[in-house]
Amino acid sequence: MMEKVMQLNPIHSRHHVLWVFIIVHFSLLLFSAFSADISPRKILNGEKKKSCKVELHREDNRVFIDNGLVEVTIENPSGHLSGIKYKGMLNVLETRNNNNNKGYWDIVWDNEAYDKLATQHVKIITETDELVELSFTKMWDITKDHGSSVPLNVDKRYIVRRGVPVLYMYGILERQEDFPDAHMYQIRIAFKLNEDKFHFMAVSDTKQRIMPIQEDRDESRCQVLAFKEAVLLTNPTNPQLKGEVDDKYQYSSENKDNKVHGWISDDDAVGFWVITPSNEFRTGGPHKQDLTSHVGPTALSMFVSTHYTGTEMDVLYKKGETWKKVLGPVCMYLNSASWDEARHYRKALWNDANRQLREEIQSWPYNFTASEDFPHAQQRGEVNGQLLVRDQSLDKQLMQAKSAFVGLAAPAYAGSWQTEGKGYQFWTQTDNTGRFTIKNVRPGEYNFYAWVYGFIGNYKLNLKITIQPGNKINLGTLIYDPPRNGPTLWEIGIPDRTAAEFFIPEPNPTFVNSILNHDADKFRQYGLWDRYSDIYRDGDLVFTVGVSNYSKDWFFAHVPRRIGNETRATTWQIKYELQEVNKAGNYTLQLALAAASYAEVQVRINNPDANLPHFTTERIGYDNAVPRHGIHGLYRLYSINVPGNGFQRGNNTIFLTQTRCHDSFEAVMYDYIRFEGPAV
């Protein structure tokens, strides 16, 4: 038989080759035309035109929602997300995990107990060709649940819409008046993705890379560093990662920037993205930092936490107080890259995820949610106005509050929004003239708050603002008078609520994470606190006004100094010269802190050995910004009055002592320091 094939007639052979050429050429043309038209955006547009209707199927212990693009599987009645089928991937979630450890809500509550909010009932809220919305609920029962589950009524919602590869999730959490006291330190949704598939993580334009796998954090493959979250990879499964540090806090982000992050499966050119189109349901305001994605592969949607704030965040819910809040909706978006994008599919997937983010933001607040607890656009209000700054030491004229952060939050004191953990917050930035519009505000009572770049302090309008459906409130022109008692004699830093402008050292080469190579992320490298002891081996920091440069000579964190196996308190000096001294006048030291953790700053004037400091902050802060690689935590401002008879003509020195030194993480970060003369 083989010989017959080999002895084909030459004419037949030529015809055979010709037909093969025609078939292959035509196939290539078809493939080229097809692949050129399946970029992620074109996929979506094409699928919307011929998309399947949304279908709901039920089994005894599972519920399926399928729109032809994604098929979602939810455990019944627990409400745990057990499967997401997309393209050729039967499940983007980790199939080896139990169903309560794939896609789930959880709360860390009293005594650091975990509750994964397993529910007891499922109800179909909406079932049409265009959309399916399901509700999984549990009512807390004091006779059955006291001590075993967080005292909370739970309603977890899932939505799948026609024509989009998106799963929407939101929760309605409620406490009744007779529920016992409870702390709820953390509320989130977690997704544990397929460990064999998702290895590339992207949390911002600059923080993207192949990540270690969970196994790499085992004792046999890593060395645990100063705390359990930080490890040095000594024998990773991917040799290219050997010698790198991994720590989930290195991938944290501020609320205002934490809008899209996720993972990519290189084998399938498929992306899984957590998209947050609004921050209204998050706590702590626009600058609150929180986790994003990290080794697992894990992707998180964080709603409440004490990260970078500590227990100063208001997370205590008391008996006798009713509370109800909608968390979300957030969306899980899946996309895939085409063959013609194969060389740059990661960039294509990331860009497409950001495109989807813009679409979700434009659609906010969603009009397809069925819960009456989530008001649609026509049921919300709007606040607008203009913010100006009055500081006559800088300018005799009113100044425009450019790019100021302005927002609405629960009524309280100026700056209280930093630790407000129970209500809704709505923030925006002013334009170059100080004008602002805060849109889509839920009905309720609020105060108006602001802070302005380049000026210290917090602004609060002493007027309670009541938002009703459809109303628009014009606050007119508001004037902020930032704290000031006299003219500036000298200053260190920029009033921006961070320590980013100060000296951030190069990391120890032994403890580098290459995902943080961009200058904007440098402060998140591991172990920077120890670099202080390396740089200042023989004595503490001395800053000379008019000579020193704060970007080179002012260390970003006031930490203890390591000497051998001990850590010792550190005293920084600010040296300056006064040409004249008003002995009868009062001077002011404006001391703005960007972070504090179990710290105490004592201030002495011209006498470092004085038994009693002129001023002390006492023990302050729990934000752990130093070990968690933040450049700020909570903002604090101290206006310290100093009588003129404490100074001398000529050389003077202010001594700042950070007295706490049980470990390297008892520290403060300075935002800005200003020395003011007596009022003119």
Domain CATH for 149: 2.70.98
Mean pLDDT computed over 174-184: 97
Cα–Cα distances (Å) from 309 to 188, 417, 419, 493, 499, in that order, read 17, 12, 7, 23, 16
Going by pLDDT thresholds of 50, 70 and 90, the confidence category of residue 341 is low
Going by pLDDT thresholds of 50, 70 and 90, the confidence category of residue 600 is very high
Mean pLDDT computed over 12-23: 41
| Within a domain: 24 | no
DSSP string, 572-626: EEEEEEES---TTSEEEEEEEEEEEEEE-EEEEES-TT-SS-SEE--SEEE--TT
Mean pLDDT computed over 232-261: 98
- Tokens encoding 572: 């920084």
Domain boundary, last residue among 480, 511, 541: 480
Residues 608 and 534 in one domain: yes
| Within a domain: 202 | no
| Within a domain: 245 | no
Residues 542 and 438 in one domain: no
- Has residue 366 got a pLDDT over 50? yes
User: Domain with 450 in it: what CATH number?
Assistant: 2.60.40.1120
| Within a domain: 128 | yes
- From the list 626, 666, 670, 308, the residue with the least C-alpha distance to 496 is 670
Residues 443 and 503 in one domain: no
How many residues belong to the chain?
680
| Residue 544 belongs to domain spanning | 488-676
Residues 617 and 672 in one domain: yes
Contacts (Cβ under 8 Å, ≥6 apart) of 1: none
- Has residue 55 got a pLDDT over 80? yes
Residues 492 and 404 in one domain: no
| Within a domain: 34 | no
- Tokens encoding 21: 């050429």
- From the list 461, 429, 426, 458, the residue with the least C-alpha distance to 447 is 461
Residues 78 and 187 in one domain: yes
Mean pLDDT computed over 590-599: 98
For the chain, percent of residues with pLDDT exceeding 70: 92
Number of domains in the chain: 3
Going by pLDDT thresholds of 50, 70 and 90, the confidence category of residue 17 is very low
Per residue in 388-429, pLDDT tens?
A: 999 999 999 999 999 999 999 999 999 999 999 999 999 999
Confidence (pTM): 0.91
Mean pLDDT computed over 51-65: 94
Q: For residue 339, what pLDDT is reported?
A: 67
Residues 322 and 176 in one domain: yes
- Has residue 6 got a pLDDT over 60? no
**Cα-Cα-Cα-Cα dihedral sign, residues 611, 616, 622, 623:** negative
Q: For residue 51, what pLDDT is reported?
A: 74
How many CB atoms sit inside 10 A of residue 226's CB? Answer: 16
Angle between helix axes 40-49 and 345-362 (nearest 10 degrees) is 50
Alpha-carbon distance of 120 to 77, in angstroms, equals 5
In this structure, are residues 675 and 591 in contact, taking their beta carbons and an 8 Å threshold? no
Residues 566 and 541 in one domain: yes
| Within a domain: 137 | yes
Mean pLDDT computed over 113-132: 97
Q: For residue 27, what pLDDT is reported?
A: 45
Residues 387 and 334 in one domain: no
> Token pair 């609405």 is at which residue?
408
Residues 444 and 356 in one domain: no
Residues 174 and 128 in one domain: yes
| Within a domain: 420 | yes
Alpha-carbon distance of 200 to 179, in angstroms, equals 44
| Within a domain: 256 | no
φ/ψ (deg, to 5) at 121: -140, 150
**Is 629 exposed, middle or buried (CB count within 10 Å of its CB: 0-12, 13-18, 19+)?**
buried
- From the list 520, 288, 308, the residue with the least C-alpha distance to 405 is 288
According to DSSP, the β-strands at 435-441 and 298-304 are unpaired
Domain boundary, last residue among 480, 505, 536: 480
User: Domain with 544 in it: what CATH number?
Assistant: 2.60.120.260
Domain boundary, last residue among 480, 503, 533: 480
CA 648 to chain centre: 47
> Token pair 């702390």 is at which residue?
183
Per residue in 482-531, pLDDT tens?
A: 999 999 999 999 999 999 999 999 999 999 999 999 999 999 999 999 99
Residues 452 and 533 in one domain: no
